[in-house]
Structure 1
Amino acid sequence: MGAWVASVVNAKVPFTMTWSDDSYGPDGPWHAVKVSIGSPEQQVSLYPGGAWQSYILLSSICSNTTVSSYCYANKAGLFNESSSTTYDDTSIELTVNNGEWGSLNFGRATEIPVYCLAKYAMDSVDVLGVVAKNVSLIVVEQGYQVYPDGTNYPLELGVLSLGAPDLNQVFNSNEGASVNATFVDSFLYTYGGGQATPSYSYGMHIGSPTFGIDGSLLLGGYDKSRVLGNVSSQPYSGSTFPIVLRDVSLGVASGGSIWSSSNNLTGLLAAGNSSISPSGITVYSSPQDPYIYLPQSTCDAIAAQLPVTYQKDLGLYFWNISSEAYSKLVTSPSFLAFTFAKDNSNLYNLTIKVPFTLLNLTLTVPLVPESTQYFPCMGTDGTYALGRAFYQAAFVGVNWGSGTGNWFLAQAPGPNLQTTSTTVIEPDDTTITGSDNSWENSWSGHWTELATTPSSTSTTSNAATTAASTASVKSSGLSTGAKAGIGAGCGVAGLAAVFFALWYCTRRRSFNQVNSTADGTNDLPGLAQARSWGGHDLSRPTNPSMISTTSSVPKSPVELDTYRHVGPFEMS
C-alpha cells in the first residue's frame, strides 16, 4: 500500500479523458467519452457520470428485434464478451434481479426505467493506453426503456462509472474468497504508474455538440476555464450528489424580453404546489440521465411562460416552432435559472443559468418519426434529478477522498471557451476555485439581443432632454437690431388692428339692418342646418382661420397592438 501512496503524492498531472467525435442520443444530441474494453480491445462510447459499476451494452442486445428492427446501439459500439479473453462473469456471486428480467436505472431518475436482462461482470478498460484491470461492470444482454405512455424504446448507450466512495467494489465470490473490482479513476489514482492522478476525483463539463462546446472530463483535477465564478461545495451522500434547489426562474442576460411583464418569472419551483416547502426540494446530480426531472407542477409553471405544448406520451414539452416567441426565445440571451443552497448553507445561494438556446433540444427516431424540437423538463413524483440537459451549462465534480468528501457545482461557459487551465484537485481539498471569466462573454456572438420596449426611464430621459433644449432656447439672447425690428413691427401691427376694428363695427351694423326680421330676431336657417360641418359647431362664432377645406371627421381609436406587441404570447 505504501508504494502506491508515494507515487500518488508525487503525481501532479490530472488525466484527461477522450471524447468521441460523434454525438449520440434520440433526445440530444449528447457528447460521450471513448474507452476500449476487453482483450483484444473493443472501442465503445459511453455517457460519463455514473458511480460504482459501469453499464455496458452487449452485442446480443441487437438480436432482439421486438422493440426495433434497427439496432440504434451499433453507432456507439457494442461489446462482444465472447471475444474477450479477460472477461469474467462467473466469479461474482451477486446477481441483477436474480438473473431474470427486471427494472434497472442507469442514473438517479426513475421516470423512464430500463427493463433488461443483465448481470455483474469484470473486464479490463483501456483509457489512452492505461489499462485498468478488473473494472466493475453490469453488462446488459437484452433491454429497453419505457416512456410514460408505456411504449418501449431501444437502448443506445451505456454509462461510464466515475468512481465511488471506496477505491474498490467488493463482491462475494462463487469460490468463497471475496472479489475486488475496481473503477477507471480509482485504478489511475492507486496503480496508474506514470499516469497516476493527484487524487481520487474528477471535474466535468458535458457541453453541447450543437454549439461546439466540447466536453471536458479530467480525473484527479479539472479545467478551471470551465468553472465560472463561485462554486458550491457540499458533502456527497453514499454515492449520490444531493443539493437543495430553492427556486427556478426566468431571466434575460441583456436586451429585451419576450415576456411582457416580470410577473410569474420567479417562484416557479413551488408555483401551484403548496406541498413544496418554502426552503426548496432536494435534487440529485445525474448526468447519466437525459432530462431535468422536477415536480410536474414546476414543469407546468415554467411551460406556462413558454411557447410549448405538453406531449403526454413522452412526458415532454414540444416547442411550437411556428411561434414568433419561439424563434426569439431560443436565439436571445434568455435563460432558465436554478437557485441552489450554496455550500449546503441556509445563508447563501448559487444560481446556474441555462440558456434556452441549449434547451432547444431535438428528438429523433425512434422516439418520434421525424425530428422534433423539445423542452427537456420532465415531471416526476419520484426522484428529482439534474440530467445532461442541465449539465450542458453546468460544471460538476467530486473529491471522493477516503469515504467522505465533497462534490462541486458551478456555472459553466458557452461556446467562446478560454484556453484550457488544467488544475489539480489535491487529496484533502474540500472545494475548488473558479475563474473570473464572464458567462455573458462566453456566449457573445451566439445569441441576438431582443429590442427593449420603451420604458419610463427612457421617456423620462427624453423629456429631460426636451426640457433642456427648451431652456437653452429661452436663455439665448437677441441682438439689438433684432429687438428694434420687433418693436417697429409691433407698432405697425397695432395701427392695423385699430383700423380693422373700426371697419368691422361699421360692417356689423350694416349686416344686422339688412337681415333683421319684423320681430327683431335673426333668420339664419342655413347656418342652423350646418352646425357640425367640418367638425365645428357653426351655431357659435367661428374663427375663419380654423375652418379647413379638408374633412376632419373623427378617426377610430388607434389599436396600440398594431404598432407595439404588448399582449401575451399564445402558449398553446
Structure 2
Amino acid sequence: MGRKLCDRPLAMLRLPRNFGPCRTSEALMALSIPASGQWDGNDGKWSTVLLNIGSPAQQVRLLPGTSATSSTEVWAVLEEGCTLANPNMTECFYSRGNTFARNESSSWSTSRLANGGLFELLMISEAELGLEGNAYFGFDTMSFNTSSGDSVEMSDQLVAGIATNDFWLGFFPLSPIGMNFTDMDQSVPSLLASLVDQARIPSRSWAYSAGAYYQDPPAYVSLTLGGFDELKIGGRSLEVPFGADQSRDLVVWLNSITYDTYGSSALLTQGVYMFLDSLVPHLWLPPAVCQRFEQAFNLTWNNDTELYLLDETVHTALLEQNPTFTFSLSESEDQKDQITITIPYAAFDFNVSAPAVNNVSRYFPLKRAADDSQYILGRVFLQEASATQIIDIEPPASASNSTDEARTDEGPAKQLSPGAIAGVVLGGIVLLGIALMLFFWRQKRQNRGAQATTSEVIEDDAAHSMKRAGSENFLSELAVHEQAVHEAGCEFGAMPELQDWGEDVGRHELSAIGIIPEVEASPLCELPSDRSSSK
C-alpha cells in the first residue's frame, strides 16, 4: 500500500514543525486546492493553482512555494515582468501565469510601507544559487476556490509583485512564518497563519505534490492546506524533523542515486544533505555527481546558459534508453530507515524557452552545485514525491483530555510519534534563538545599509535577467518617481546552528533589506480539526 496520486504510488516526506498557537474550533477541515488545469513555465511543464488578487479580481496562476524564508507571502508577476522585462515576447502575459496590475486594483495599499513598498526579495538559499529580484510589496484582497466548490475570501493580505526573470511564475506561499518590515510595529502574518486566525483551516500544516505532465493521464498538482489526506498516505513514508536552519528547513539525507541500466554504476555514492525547495525547478548536485551523469548519458554543459542542453541525437538516445532513477533517502546519515523514490526519464524530459535561452531547446534539469549550500532537490523531484509538513502538534495540558480526532477533507489526520515531537521542539527552540540574535545584530547594523535609488535597483534586476537571456537590451526602471530603497549590504549566509557570535561569522544583513521572517514562540498543539471546545 502506498501514497497514491491518480493511481500512481508516491513516497511521502513528513516534515513536522511547531510554529503557531493552538486553535480549537468546531469541525474545521483542511482545504484541498484544485489545479488550474494548465501546464505553465518556461523550464518545464508545471501544474499551477489559481488565486484571485485585487478589486476587481485579477486571476493569476501560481506554483506552490515551500521555502520557509522566501514563501512567506504571495508572489505575483507584475505587468512590468512583460512590458519592461520582456517587451518583445509574444504571449508573455499568459506564459507567466497572467500578470497582476496593481494600479488597477482599488484595494491595493502600500500606505503602511516605506518606499512605496519597493524592497528586495528576501531570499537566502535561493540567493546562494545566484537568484535575485526586487518586488513591490503591498496589501490587497485575495480569494481562491477549494475542491469542494467553496470560495475562501481574505482581505489585507501581503503580496509581492515581481518582474524578475529569475522566477518565471509567481508562488502560492506555504511558509507558516510571518514577515517583519522595519517600519512596522507588528509582523505581517503569512497566508497560512491568516487562514488559521480566520478559522478557515485547523493548522498551518500542508501537503504538496507537484503533479506530472508525463503521466497517462497527466497528474495535476495536489495541494492541501491545514492538514493532509490520510487516504493518500501509505507505508512508503519518511518522517523528518524540522531542521535547525530556518533558511534550509526541509532537509533530508540523500544516500544514493542509481539508475536501472544493466551494469551501470551509481551516480551518487557518498550521501549528502539536500534541501527540498519548490521555488527551484532543478536538481543541484555535487560536481562529481554531475560528471557521472555527463558520462552516463552523454550530457554537455553549456557555459552560456548554465544548462545541460540536449541535441536531438542525445535526446533520442535517452528516449531509447529510458532510464529510471532511484533516489534513496533517510532522515540523517546515521539512520537506517530509508525510502526509495523512483523517477522515470520522462520526468526530466523538459524544454527550456525564452528568456532563459534564445531558442526553444531540450535540456536535462540538472545543475552543478558549487558547495553544500547549493545542494537542492527542486520541483522536478516533487513530481514523484509528496511533501507533507505537520506544524501544530501535541496539545497543551489544558486541552489534553480532548479525544476528538483531527480530520482532513477525506479522513483522520495522523499524529506524530513522541520521537518526532521531541525533534520538532528542539528545532523550534533553535530557530527562536537564531531569530533573537539576528534581531540584535540588525539593531547593531541598522544604519549601515547601502542606499540605492529605485532606478538603480530595478536596472540591476533587469540587467541580471537580461544577462541570463543573452540579450544586450537594458531594462529601464519600474517607476522613476519612487523614493530610495534599501539594497543588500552584504551577501546572505545561512546559519545551520547556533554559533559563536564572533566578527568573522557570516550573518544575515537584515536592515539592508528591510524585511525578515518572524519566528513566533508558541505552545505546541496537535493538528486540530474537530474539537468542540477548549478545556
Instruction: Summarize the Cα distance change of 1:344–1:131 in structure 2 as closer, same or farther, 3 Å threshold.
Output: farther
Deviation at 1:292? 0.8
- Any stretches of 5+ residues in structure 2 without a counterpart? 1-20, 146-150, 396-407, 421-535
Preserved contact between residue 307 and residue 320 of structure 1 (Cα < 8 Å): no
- Aligned counterpart in structure 2 of residue 77 of structure 1, from 95, 98, 102: 98
Instruction: Summarize the Cα distance change of 1:366–1:403 in structure 2 as closer, same or farther, 3 Å threshold.
Output: farther
User: Counterpart in 2 of 1:497?
Assistant: none
Instruction: Summarize the Cα distance change of 1:67–1:348 in structure 2 as closer, same or farther, 3 Å threshold.
Output: farther
The residue type equivalent to 2:227 in the other structure is G
User: Counterpart in 2 of 1:460?
Assistant: none
Partner deviation per Cα, 1:521-556 (whole Å, 9 max, x = no partner): xxxxxxxxxxxxxxxxxxxxxxxxxxxxxxxxxxxx
- Aligned counterpart in structure 1 of residue 335 of structure 2, from 326, 331, 346: 346
Name the SS of the counterpart of 2:347 in structure 1.
coil
Deviation at 1:342? 3.0
Deviation at 1:347? 2.7
User: Counterpart in 2 of 1:449?
Assistant: none
User: Counterpart in 2 of 1:452?
Assistant: none
User: Counterpart in 1 of 2:193?
Assistant: 186
Partner deviation per Cα, 1:333-368 (whole Å, 9 max, x = no partner): x32222222377533222222111211112233334
Name the SS of the counterpart of 1:21 in structure 2.
strand
**d(CA) in 2 for partners of 1:244 and 1:210?**
26
Identity of aligned residues (%): 20
Deviation at 1:70? 4.2
| TM-score under structure 1 length normalisation | 0.58
Instruction: Summarize the Cα distance change of 1:88–1:239 in structure 2 as closer, same or farther, 3 Å threshold.
Output: farther
User: Counterpart in 2 of 1:329?
Assistant: 321
Name the SS of the counterpart of 2:207 in structure 1.
strand
Name the SS of the counterpart of 1:185 in structure 2.
helix
**d(CA) in 2 for partners of 1:345 and 1:94?**
49
The residue type equivalent to 1:121 in the other structure is G
User: Counterpart in 2 of 1:161?
Assistant: 173
**d(CA) in 2 for partners of 1:85 and 1:52?**
24
Preserved contact between residue 284 and residue 384 of structure 1 (Cα < 8 Å): yes
Deviation at 1:428? 6.3
Partner deviation per Cα, 1:48-80 (whole Å, 9 max, x = no partner): 124312222222333315675546244411111
Establish whether residue 219 from structure 1 lines up as the match of residue 208 from structure 2.
Answer: no
The residue type equivalent to 1:210 in the other structure is Y
**d(CA) in 2 for partners of 1:355 and 1:53?**
33
Name the SS of the counterpart of 1:5 in structure 2.
coil
**d(CA) in 2 for partners of 1:182 and 1:285?**
23
Partner deviation per Cα, 1:264-306 (whole Å, 9 max, x = no partner): 2x2x335xxxxxxx5x322111011111111222112122111
What is the 5 A alignment of 1:196-275? Answer: 196-211=200-215, 212-224=218-230, 226-227=232-233, 229-237=235-243, 238=246, 240-252=248-260, 257=261, 259=262, 261-262=263-264, 264=265, 266=266, 268-269=267-268
**d(CA) in 1 for partners of 2:121 and 2:56?**
31
Partner deviation per Cα, 1:412-431 (whole Å, 9 max, x = no partner): xxxxxxxx993454686789
Establish whether residue 377 from structure 1 lines up as the match of residue 366 from structure 2.
Answer: yes
Preserved contact between residue 399 and residue 429 of structure 1 (Cα < 8 Å): no
Q: How large is the RMSD of aligned CA atoms in angstroms?
A: 3.4
**d(CA) in 1 for partners of 2:286 and 2:238?**
23
Instruction: Summarize the Cα distance change of 1:187–1:427 in structure 2 as closer, same or farther, 3 Å threshold.
Output: farther
Establish whether residue 364 from structure 1 lines up as the match of residue 353 from structure 2.
Answer: yes
Partner deviation per Cα, 1:303-332 (whole Å, 9 max, x = no partner): 2111433222222223454356322233xx
Deviation at 1:110? 3.4
**d(CA) in 2 for partners of 1:403 and 1:139?**
37
What is the 5 A alignment of 1:422-433? Answer: 422-425=410-413
Instruction: Summarize the Cα distance change of 1:162–1:349 in structure 2 as closer, same or farther, 3 Å threshold.
Output: same
Preserved contact between residue 14 and residue 197 of structure 1 (Cα < 8 Å): yes
Partner deviation per Cα, 1:135-158 (whole Å, 9 max, x = no partner): 233222x4333xxxxxxxxx5311
| TM-score under structure 2 length normalisation | 0.62
Deviation at 1:398? 0.6
**Max Rg structure:** 1
Preserved contact between residue 23 and residue 202 of structure 2 (Cα < 8 Å): no
- Aligned counterpart in structure 1 of residue 53 of structure 2, from 37, 48, 63: 37
Name the SS of the counterpart of 1:44 in structure 2.
strand
- Aligned counterpart in structure 2 of residue 22 of structure 1, from 26, 38, 43: 38
The residue type equivalent to 1:269 in the other structure is L
Name the SS of the counterpart of 1:143 in structure 2.
coil
Name the SS of the counterpart of 1:23 in structure 2.
strand
**Greater Cα shift, 87-96 or 347-356:** 87-96
The residue type equivalent to 1:314 in the other structure is T
Preserved contact between residue 282 and residue 378 of structure 2 (Cα < 8 Å): yes
Instruction: Summarize the Cα distance change of 1:430–1:189 in structure 2 as closer, same or farther, 3 Å threshold.
Output: farther
Instruction: Summarize the Cα distance change of 1:122–1:343 in structure 2 as closer, same or farther, 3 Å threshold.
Output: farther
**d(CA) in 2 for partners of 1:325 and 1:200?**
45
Preserved contact between residue 65 and residue 174 of structure 2 (Cα < 8 Å): yes
User: Counterpart in 2 of 1:58?
Assistant: 78
Name the SS of the counterpart of 1:182 in structure 2.
coil
Preserved contact between residue 138 and residue 159 of structure 2 (Cα < 8 Å): yes
Instruction: Summarize the Cα distance change of 1:144–1:26 in structure 2 as closer, same or farther, 3 Å threshold.
Output: closer
**d(CA) in 1 for partners of 2:138 and 2:393?**
25
Name the SS of the counterpart of 2:380 in structure 1.
helix
User: Counterpart in 2 of 1:5?
Assistant: 23
Instruction: Summarize the Cα distance change of 1:60–1:200 in structure 2 as closer, same or farther, 3 Å threshold.
Output: same
Deviation at 1:28? 0.4
Preserved contact between residue 401 and residue 427 of structure 1 (Cα < 8 Å): no
- Higher relative contact order (CA closer than 8 Å, sequence separation 6+): 2
Instruction: Summarize the Cα distance change of 1:179–1:342 in structure 2 as closer, same or farther, 3 Å threshold.
Output: closer
User: Counterpart in 1 of 2:516?
Assistant: none
**d(CA) in 1 for partners of 2:78 and 2:196?**
28
**d(CA) in 2 for partners of 1:19 and 1:339?**
29
Preserved contact between residue 399 and residue 425 of structure 1 (Cα < 8 Å): no
